[in-house]
Amino acid sequence: MSRWKTVRLTEVACVNPRRPKELADLPDEYPVTFVPMPAVNQFMGTIEHGETKPFKEVKKGFTYFAEGDVIFAKITPCMQNGKSAIAKGLANKLGFGSTEFHVIRPNDGVITAEWIWYFVRQESFRKEGAYHFRGAVGQQRVPSEYLENANVLLPPITEQRRIVAKLAECMERIGEAQQLRKQAKLEARGLEHAAFHDAIAEGINECGWPLGTLGDVATSFRYGSSAKAHAEEVGTPVLRMGNITNGYLDYNDLKFLELDERDLRKYCLKSGDILINRTNSLELVGKAAMFDKSDGNWVYASYLVCVDVDRSRVMPEFVVGVLNSRMGRDFVLATARRAIGMVNINAKEMARFPMPLPPLKEQAAIVERLRSVRTTAESLRDELASPGIEQLRSAVLRKAFSGEL
């Protein structure tokens, strides 16, 4: 690091450069790139899905930047999330974007755009930026003065390029690890359902379990309330499509209904009731979960079907496991009706679902065995959800800007 020096960012770059006068002479139909905030991939430092627009649509009310500039989100929470990118591939090398971007233009031959981008991506830089926020809560922004007064460690240009190449290689490996973790999380999520399917297939093929239908063992199919729910915690909590998660009910993110006594009796859930998504995306329609609370009043929304089953013949948990297994998914995919943006299956169609009917003792053994699978799967998901990947990115950047890379 003997040849590194600390300089003000404004000594080696221009913060929020002014529009050149010649822009005023551009024809209205001149194509340029428009970049909304969601188009920025902060992990790759790239602009994705930028839109080509005529100059007349963006020449007023948007932030100007050019090919090779670094754009940096100034508003919370985008700033803390590291929303920033190097402007590349712009139509006619001109870009316009959200007014919530700061623009940093590197001085050629002194500092590279990549070095600036990695610099502002540092967790320490973003945390310090939050201390300089101005504005009301929820609309706080980093002022341009924070960037202008920032000190940046600056090695020679050849050293910048060497370190940047090493950083790019490291970040690529970290990205690959992140994708593997994401895939592992998806596989962990399906572990329990796959195990249930295997147990069912074994019982049908090797033990000769009889097959009936869901309608054979159901004592009722009921649709939920279509009353408009509200977020204020007044009235009765209502379970909706989004509360069915991975075969279980998530009792967070609730909304509430104010129902009269008649409707409350009509839609009130009891422990052991089975809720099924009757309208959703193709991936989620038909997914089921068991209501397992015994205290207070809970109701359910109209996009769910509530199924009560004869518990002298089947355990509700066993039925839910079968519905969520591959056997259940195959039936739903073959039966559900496609509509624009949604897929639907009704109670009459669900009643035809083929239901294996082993003795209750065998059902209980399968349910108990698969509870241990669920515990293992949840432990794996918790481990995979740890923030290690982002911490690794931060550690690599710290090493780079301390001369250790």
Domain assignment present for residue 186? The answer is no
Is 361 in a helix, a strand, or coil?
helix
The per-residue pLDDT for range 96-106, each reduced to its tens digit, is 999 999 999 99
Q: Is the pLDDT of residue 77 over 60?
A: yes
pTM of the model: 0.55
Domain assignment present for residue 377? The answer is no
User: Is 263 in the same domain as 332?
Assistant: yes
Domain assignment present for residue 364? The answer is no
% of the chain beyond a pLDDT of 70: 89
Residue where a domain terminates, one of 107, 128, 154:
154
Give the DSSP per-residue string, 14-70. Answer: EESPPPPGGGGGS-TT-EEEEE-GGGEETTTTEE-S-EEEEHHHHSSSSEEEETT-E
Residues 6+ apart with CB under 8 A from 333: 282
Domain assignment present for residue 191? The answer is no
User: Alpha-carbon distance 346 to 344, whole Å?
Assistant: 7
User: Is 51 in the same domain as 127?
Assistant: yes
Domain assignment present for residue 387? The answer is no
User: Is 247 in the same domain as 338?
Assistant: yes
Q: What is the CATH number of the domain that holds 74?
A: 3.90.220.20
Q: Is the pLDDT of residue 117 over 60?
A: yes
Domain assignment present for residue 403? The answer is no
User: Is 240 in the same domain as 327?
Assistant: yes
41 close to 121: Cβ distance less than 8 angstroms: no
Mean pLDDT of 134-139: 75
User: Alpha-carbon distance 26 to 353, whole Å?
Assistant: 65
What mean pLDDT value characterizes the chain?
A: 86
User: Is 223 in the same domain as 144?
Assistant: no
User: Is 145 in the same domain as 226?
Assistant: no
User: Is 137 in the same domain as 219?
Assistant: no
- Six-digit token string for 263: 């409707």
Is 256 in a helix, a strand, or coil?
strand
Residue where a domain terminates, one of 114, 129, 154:
154
Domain housing 68: 5-154
Domain assignment present for residue 369? The answer is no
For residue 367, with 0-12 CB atoms within 10 Å meaning exposed, 13-18 middle and 19 or more buried, which class applies? middle
Q: Is the pLDDT of residue 60 over 70?
A: yes
User: Is 31 in the same domain as 141?
Assistant: yes
User: Alpha-carbon distance 101 to 73, whole Å?
Assistant: 5
Q: pLDDT class for 8, splitting at 50, 70, 90?
A: very high
Strands, E, within 70-217: which ranges? 70-73, 84-86, 94-97, 101-106, 151-154, 211-213
% of the chain beyond a pLDDT of 90: 49
User: Is 39 in the same domain as 133?
Assistant: yes
Is 309 in a helix, a strand, or coil?
strand
Q: What is the DSSP letter of 228?
A: P
User: Is 253 in the same domain as 128?
Assistant: no
Q: How far is CA 140 from CA 98, 179, 272, 392, in A?
A: 15, 32, 47, 28
Residue where a domain terminates, one of 154, 169, 188:
154
User: Is 220 in the same domain as 327?
Assistant: yes
Q: Is the pLDDT of residue 86 over 60?
A: yes
Q: How far is CA 39 from CA 81, 168, 203, 360, in A?
A: 14, 20, 51, 54
Domain assignment present for residue 55? The answer is yes
User: Is 143 in the same domain as 236?
Assistant: no
235 close to 256: Cβ distance less than 8 angstroms: yes
- Count of structural domains, the chain: 2
